Amino acid sequence: MTAFNSRLPSREESVLRYLVDRRAEERPDQVYIKTPDGAEITFRDMRDQVISTAAGLAALGVKQGDPVVVWMPNSPDMARVWYAINYLGAIYIPINIAYRGGLLEHVLNNAQARIIVADGRYVDRLGLVSTPSVETVVTFGDGSGAPQHLKVLPSSVLDGDADTLPALERPIEPSDVQMIIYTSGTTGPSKGVISTYGHQFHMCGSDGFPMITGEDRVLCNLPMFHIGGTVPMLSTLLHGGSVAIVEGFSTNNFWAEIDATQCTLAILLGVMSSFIMKQPPAPDDRDHCLKKVINIPLADDWKAVSERFGFAVWTVYNMTELCVPLSSERNPAVPGTCGRPRRGVELRLVDDQDGEVPVGEVGELIIRTEAPWALNSGYFRNPEATVEAWRNGWFHTGDFLRRDEHDNYFFVDRKKDAIRRRGENISSFEVEAEVLAHPLVRECAVVPVPSRFSEDEVLAVVSPVPGAVIDPVEFIDFLRPRLPYFMIPRYVRILSDLPRTPTQKVQKSVLRDEGVTADTWDREAAGIFIKRDS
């Protein structure tokens, strides 16, 4: 393991443009990207594609420091667009492909990007929102559904002439902003996490993921608009390894994709390991090349999974704003742990006044680092949220953890009312905003209830306007065009009045504790299943 370095990393080891150039020079014929259909892209191929795409973006007016939104599913095309944006020194802003309605409008208006590069399947949603900053949409696939006031261009405009690529106005520095990733808010709208090249270096490199080496091929089946999909791409670029890009996780296809791409390492979030474990045992369960799994959070049955399939297991604690402050050893000995502090980070568990709590007690995790630019640089165009999170010189995670006398940390709960369903973070605030748009809903509260797999299901507790009767089926139909599929409640409970505190705040804790009651309607029991949309 390399020693922790508290200095600012050099441009050559941390800035994407210089890394892409360096890898193409050092190992031009090494495969960097592989897909299940057999396609392979070497480091030299990647640089050539990135420079061509960067020239195309520059011809559209993209300059160093400009924000560019990318609205695409996982693919080599998304990767080369992302890298081309950073090659120009511009700011890469990926957004969730399920966004629509108010969430889409908020994110685009916060990002203030003039250009969106999008999959053509999504652009019709732009006609239902107000986005005055957006001028041009470059589409992969049919973009005819985009609103008439936007300039819509085919993706072929990104096939630029490398000889026309303009020179940088100045060198790209490790302290420059590389990307803005939107993470679901817990008490307000989604926030754009400002992430520098230095931040991503400390997160995705050997400090954050020492178990990833240049010999690994890492599976990228988590969305690249989340940090879970960002890590495989950048960690392999930083280490000189390779990555397998898959559009999404599928239990049925998981092992076939591992075999087709010859992956040695995968990240399994939430219920993924449970789904894999529930597949019928087979004689060839160990007949594969997967050697390492990063399991987040550490599953209760991780040992059984490891023994059945023959891979080693690690776990970590991280979030978009952090740099993997906690990680475990290979095959962690302590059940339920999320790891111990790594070098270069200082952690505290604190109460509401930022006073440190005793060992064994639950507190909010706060963090600071030795190295500059190793954490997020705040929330984009949201100074209030930045000040709140960074108070007293520490970044406040909003997560409750506890630690034992051996410095093992254990995740307890999210401090606010975030919900996690099937690997997606959901803001109850954002769901409630759309629920309250229903004309018959007077008030509502959205809370998590346990899923039979793990993580949460979404329960919406609503009270009708006087004299009204809410039909749950019609209520769900109302929400379908307004929310991403993963945010649509599974459970609906209708009450005449919601429980309140003496200060008239809704007591979400009461509703959470009551959970799925006898009077709760279950849409899946009613035969209504909502799948991932395109």
**H or E segment at 384?**
helix 383-389
Give every strand in the sheet of 441-450, ordered side by side: 441-450, 456-464, 491-494, 520-522
| pLDDT tens profile 4-20 | 557 789 999 999 999 99
Tell me the pLDDT tens digit for each residue of 223-278: 999 999 999 999 999 999 999 999 999 989 999 999 999 999 999 987 788 788 88
Using alpha carbons, list the distances in angstroms from residue 48 to 18, 20, 271, 309. Answer: 14, 10, 38, 38
- Whole-angstrom distance, CA of residue 484 vs CA of residue 191: 17
Q: Are 431 and 184 in contact (CB under 8 A)?
A: no
Give the Cα separation of 514 and 461 in Å (integer): 11
Residue 510 contacts residue 459 (beta carbons within 8 Å): no
Q: In angstroms, what CA-CA distances link 130 with 24, 204, 276?
A: 42, 36, 42
Q: Which residues pair with 69 in a beta bridge?
A: 93, 116
CA quadruple 358, 360, 361, 366: dihedral positive or negative? positive
Query: Residue 386: which of 524, 193, 220 has the closest Cα?
Result: 193
**Cα–Cα distance measured from residue 378 to residue 381, given in angstroms and rounded to the nearest whole number:** 9
Looking from the CA of 509 toward its CB, the CA atoms found within 13 Å total 5
What is the b/e burial string over 190-206, where b = at least 16 CB atoms within 10 angstroms of the residue's CB? bbbbbbbbbbbbbbbbb
| Tokens 């979404």 found at | 458
- Domains by residue range for the chain, with CATH: 11-313 (3.40.50.12780), 420-522 (3.30.300.30)
Residue 293: beta bridge partners? 266, 313
pLDDT tens digits in sequence order for the chain, 534 residues long: 445 557 789 999 999 999 999 999 999 999 999 999 999 999 999 999 999 999 999 999 999 999 999 999 999 999 999 999 999 999 999 999 989 998 899 999 999 999 999 999 999 999 999 999 999 999 999 999 999 999 999 999 999 999 999 999 999 999 999 999 998 654 457 899 999 999 999 999 999 999 999 999 999 999 999 999 999 999 999 999 999 999 999 989 999 999 999 999 999 987 788 788 888 899 999 999 999 999 998 988 899 999 999 999 999 999 999 999 999 999 999 999 999 999 999 999 999 999 999 999 989 999 999 999 999 999 999 999 999 999 999 999 998 899 999 999 998 777 766 688 877 878 777 888 899 889 999 889 999 998 887 789 999 999 998 899 999 999 999 999 999 999 999 999 999 989 875 445 678 888 988 999 999 999 999 999 998 764
Q: What's the CA gap between 127 and 188, in Å, rounded?
A: 24
Its pTM stands at 0.85
What would the two tokens of residue 204 be? 């995705």
**Closest among 468, 478, 452 to 460, alpha carbons compared:** 478
How many angstroms separate the CA atoms of 298 and 313, rounded?
9
Q: Are 531 and 480 in contact (CB under 8 A)?
A: no
